[in-house]
C-alpha cells in the first residue's frame, strides 16, 4: 500500500534515519528535494509554491514526490519524484505516488497542469509518466548533450484524462502500432483504478499465432501485472468489437467493463453477430460501444485502403 505523508518534524526525523542508509546514492541527486532542506521547503509550502510528500510503503519511507510552481500566479507545476530502493522500482509504486500527489496538489497549489522533463534514453521512466497521463510535447537537447522529452499532463476539468475517450485514444495508439507492423490495426488497453496496467495490439502475423489478438495480448499482460487471472475491477478498451475468442477471454478473465470503438459486422461477438455478454455465462461484463467510433473506423479503413493500393 502506498501512502503520501505530509512533511513535519516527526516524519522528517524518521526519514532522515532512513536516508543515512543511502547517503552515497543520494549524493547523485543534489538537485532534488532532501529532508535536510526542510526549512527551505517549508517556506515554499507556506508561500503556496510547493507540494511535497514523503512516500510511505509497507511501513517504510522509500522516497518523496513533489510539485513546485515558479510563481504564485502560475497554473503549472513541475513534477519530481525519486524512490530510493532499486528493488521497488518498476512495481507501480511511483505511478501510484504520482497520481496521489497530482490529485492533492491540484487543489492545494491551484494548478491546471503538471509538467516534467525525462531523458530520451530512459524509456521505462517515459512509459511510467505516459501511463500517468503525461504526453510528450517537445524534444530538446541540454547543453551537456543529453536529449530530453518535455511532457505535460492537463489537470483541468476539460481534460480527456480519466475519461473513456482518453483511454480509447491510448488503444488507438496500439492500433496504429499494429498497422506499422503490417497487422490489422486493432489495439486494446486495460485500466484499473485509473491506471493503465496493460496494453496490446494484434500480433498474429508478426508472431505467427492465431490467438494473438489485441485483447488477448492485453489480458495476458494484465494478469501478469496483477499476479492473478482474475481482472475484477478492470476496464478493457478495444478499438474493434471483440471476436468470439476474445469475448470468451474477457468473460473468463472476469473483466468488469468493456468499452468498444467500432463494431465488427462480420465477426463481432458482443453486438453484431452474437451477444456473448448477454448470454447466461458465469460472468457478464458491462459494455459500452461507440467510444471514438469514427477514429477507430478510420484507422481500419485507411489500413485496408493502403493494402488495396499495393
Distance CA 104, CA 6 (A): 11
According to the annotation, is 14 in a ligand binding site? no
- Dist CA 79 CA 68 (whole Å): 7
- 54 CB burial (10 A radius; 0-12, 13-18, 19+): buried
All cell numbers assigned to 19: 536516508
Strands 60-68 and 50-57: antiparallel
| Long-range contacts, stretch 155-164, CB < 8 angstroms, 24+ apart | 155/102, 155/106, 155/111, 155/112, 155/113, 155/114, 156/112, 156/113, 161/133, 162/133, 162/194, 164/237, 164/259, 164/288, 164/291
> By CB neighbour count within 10 A (0-12 exposed, 13-18 middle, 19+ buried), where does 256 fall?
middle
- For strand 76-83 and strand 113-119, is the pairing parallel, antiparallel, or unpaired? parallel
| Residue given cell 487543489 in the structure block | 107
81: left (phi over 0), alpha (psi -120 to 50) or beta: beta
100 contacts 132 by C-beta, under 8 angstroms = no
246 is in an annotated binding site: yes
- Euclidean distance between CA atoms 291 and 188, whole angstroms: 13
The candidate with the shortest Cα–Cα distance to 276, out of 295, 253, 248, 307, is: 248
Radius of gyration of the chain (CA): 22
Q: Per the annotation, does 110 bind a ligand?
A: no
Residues known to be catalytic: 215
Q: Calculate the alpha carbon distances from 38 to 18, 44, 69, 76, 86 in Å.
A: 15, 10, 17, 23, 24
Cite the annotated binding site by residue number. Answer: 213, 243, 246
Q: What are the binding residues for Zn(2+)?
A: 213, 243, 246
Amino acid at each position: 500500500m502506498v501512502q503520501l505523508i505530509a512533511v513535519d518534524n516527526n516524519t522528517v526525523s524518521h526519514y532522515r534515519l532512513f536516508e543515512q542508509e543511502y547517503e552515497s546514492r543520494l549524493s547523485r541527486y543534489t538537485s532534488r528535494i532532501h529532508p535536510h532542506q526542510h526549512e527551505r521547503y517549508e517556506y515554499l509550502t507556506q508561500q503556496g509554491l510547493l507540494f511535497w510528500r514523503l512516500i510511505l510503503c509497507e511501513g517504510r519511507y522509500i522516497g518523496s514526490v513533489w510539485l513546485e510552481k515558479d510563481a504564485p500566479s502560475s497554473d503549472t507545476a513541475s513534477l519530481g519524484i525519486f524512490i530510493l530502493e532499486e528493488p521497488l522500482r518498476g512495481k507501480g509504486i511511483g505511478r501510484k505516488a504520482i497520481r496521489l500527489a497530482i490529485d492533492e496538489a491540484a487543489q492545494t497549489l491551484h494548478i491546471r497542469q503538471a509538467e516534467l522533463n525525462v531523458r530520451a534514453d530512459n524509456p521505462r521512466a517515459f512509459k511510467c509518466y505516459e501511463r500517468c497521463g503525461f504526453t510528450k510535447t517537445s524534444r530538446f537537447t541540454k547543453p551537456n548533450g543529453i536529449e530530453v522529452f518535455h511532457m505535460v499532463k492537463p489537470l483541468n476539468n476539460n481534460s480527456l484524462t480519466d475519461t473513456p475517450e482518453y483511454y480509447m485514444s491510448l488503444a488507438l495508439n496500439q492500433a496504429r502500432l499494429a498497422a506499422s507492423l503490417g497487422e490489422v490495426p486493432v489495439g486494446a488497453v486495460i485500466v484499473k483504478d485509473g491506471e493503465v496496467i496493460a496494453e496490446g495490439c494484434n500480433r498474429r502475423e508478426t508472431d505467427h499465432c492465431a490467438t494473438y489478438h489485441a485483447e488477448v495480448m492485453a489480458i495476458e499482460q494484465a494478469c501478469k501485472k496483477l499476479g492473478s487471472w482474475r481482472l475484477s475491477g478492470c476496464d478493457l478498451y478495444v478499438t474493434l468489437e471483440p471476436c468470439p475468442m476474445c469475448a470468451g477471454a474477457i468473460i473468463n478473465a472476469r473483466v468488469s467493463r468493456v468499452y468498444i470503438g467500432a463494431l465488427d459486422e462480420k465477426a463481432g461477438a458482443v453486438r453484431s453477430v452474437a451477444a456473448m455478454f448477454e448470454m447466461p455465462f458465469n460472468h457478464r461484463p458491462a459494455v459500452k460501444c461507440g467510444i471514438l467510433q469514427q477514429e477507430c473506423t478510420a484507422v481500419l479503413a485507411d489500413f485496408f485502403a493502403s493494402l488495396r493500393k499495393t
